[in-house]
Amino acid sequence: MMTAIVHESFILPRLPPELERKIFEQAAHSSFQRIPTLMLTSWRVKIWLEPILYRVVIDPELVDEYEDYAYLPNHTLLQKLRTRPPSSVGLFVRHILWELSARNSNDLLVALALCAHVTDLFILGNPDLMILPAINGLQNLSHLAIHVQSLYPSGSSIDFTSHLFRRLTHLELLCCDFRSFPDALVGLGAAPNLTHVSFNAIRDAAAVHEQIHKHTNLRCIVFFEVGPAKHLPSTADDRFVAVRQTRYITDWLRGVTRGNDYWWLVERFIDAKRAGKVERSRYMIRDDDASWQS
C-alpha cells in the first residue's frame, strides 16, 4: 500500500496547475527557442505553450538579430499550414506583420484565409484590392496598418461603412499622400469603434487634422515625421501627437509581445498633458523615450 501511495504522489503534479502553468509560460517567454522542447514535457504543457509559439508571425529578415522577441517566421507558418491541419496552427495566430513582394502576395492570402482569429495586421507594401476580401474575413481584427491607397480606388474616398471597419479600433495609414484625393477621409466618423488613427509619411498634417478633428470618438490622432510648422495641426487639440519613430519593426514587436508600443506611449503622453505634467504646447515625442514621464 505504501509503495502505491509513493508511486502515485510521484507521478502527479506537485504544484497547483495554475502555478505550474505560470512557470512554464515564463520560461517560454524568457527563451522562445526552448518552447518546442518544453512542449514535450506533457500534453498539458503543450496546450499551454503552443499558442505562444504561433501567436506572432513576421518575416525574420525584418527583425534585428539582437532583438529578443517571441515570433514565428512567416515561411515556417506557411510550411505548417500546408503540412498540418490548419486548426492546429492558424487557430493560435493573433499578430501578423507581412512585407509584400511579387513572390509572396498569394502567400499572405493563404495565411489570412487559414488564420481567421488575427487581431493585428501590418502590411508593408501596396497590396492590390484582392487583399481586401481576405482582410474582411478576419472577424476579430482590431489593429490594422496598411497602405492608404489599398483602401480606395483612384479618385474616391475610403468607405468607412464597410465590413472592414466594423471592429477596427486602431488604424495606421501608410504612405499618406492625400494631395490628389483630399476628401479620402471624409467618412471616417462612420467607423463605429475607431478610437486611434495614425498617418505615416504625410505632407500636410494640418489639412488632415482639419478634416477629422470633429470626430469625438477619436482618442488619439498621431502623425509620424511631420513637416514644417505651417503644416501642423493646432496644439489646442491634445489628442494630436507627433511621433518620431526610431525602429518601427521593434516597436510593433514590443507592442504585440509586451503591450508597450507607440500607441501605449501616446496614450500616456496625452494623459500626462491633461494632468498638467507635460506642457500643453508640447506635441512631439520619440517612440523610444518616455523621459517626459519623470
1: pLDDT strictly greater than 60: no
How high does pLDDT run on average in the chain? 84
Q: Which residues of 243-282 are buried (b: 16+ CB within 10 A; e: fewer)?
A: beeeebbbbbbbbbbeeebbbebbebbbebbeeeebeeee
**What's the rounded mean pLDDT across residues 58-76?**
85
Grid cell, residue 262, equals 507607440
Q: What is the pTM of this model?
A: 0.86
Q: Give the count of beta carbons closer than 10 Å to the beta carbon of residue 96.
A: 23
pLDDT for residue 86: 64
Residues in the chain: 294
**What's the rounded mean pLDDT across residues 235-242?**
89
Residue 57 bridge partners (DSSP): 72, 96
**CA dist., res. 229 & res. 148, Å (int):** 24
pLDDT for residue 233: 76
Say if CB 125 and CB 149 are below 8 A apart. no
> Which of the four pLDDT bands, split at 50, 70 and 90, describes residue 126?
confident
Q: What is the DSSP letter of 173?
A: E
Q: pLDDT by residue (tens digit) across 46-58?
A: 888 878 888 999 9
pLDDT for residue 141: 96
**CA dist., res. 25 & res. 29, Å (int):** 6
Residue located via cell numbers 501590418: 122
Q: pLDDT by residue (tens digit) across 257-271?
A: 888 999 999 999 999
104: pLDDT strictly greater than 80: no
Residues 6+ apart with CB under 8 A from 5: none
Percent of the chain with pLDDT over 90: 37
> Which of the four pLDDT bands, split at 50, 70 and 90, describes residue 236?
confident
Q: pLDDT by residue (tens digit) across 189-214?
A: 999 999 999 998 777 788 888 889 99
102: pLDDT strictly greater than 70: no
235: pLDDT strictly greater than 90: no
The residue among 29 and 134 whose pLDDT is bigger is 134
> Which of the four pLDDT bands, split at 50, 70 and 90, describes residue 144?
very high
The residue among 81 and 28 whose pLDDT is bigger is 81
Grid cell, residue 47, equals 496546450
Cα angle value 65/251/173 (rounded, 5°)? 125
**CA dist., res. 204 & res. 218, Å (int):** 19
11-15, 181-185, 207-211, 247-251: least confidently modelled range: 11-15
Q: What is the DSSP letter of 170?
A: E
pLDDT for residue 243: 93
Helix residue ranges, H only, 127-198:
131-136
Q: Provide the 3-class DSSP secondary structure of residue 146.
A: strand
What does the domain layout of the chain look like in residue ranges? 13-54, 55-293
Sequence-ordered strand ranges (E) for 175-257: 196-199, 220-224, 240-244
The residue among 76 and 177 whose pLDDT is bigger is 76
**CA dist., res. 273 & res. 89, Å (int):** 43
pLDDT for residue 275: 93
pLDDT for residue 182: 62
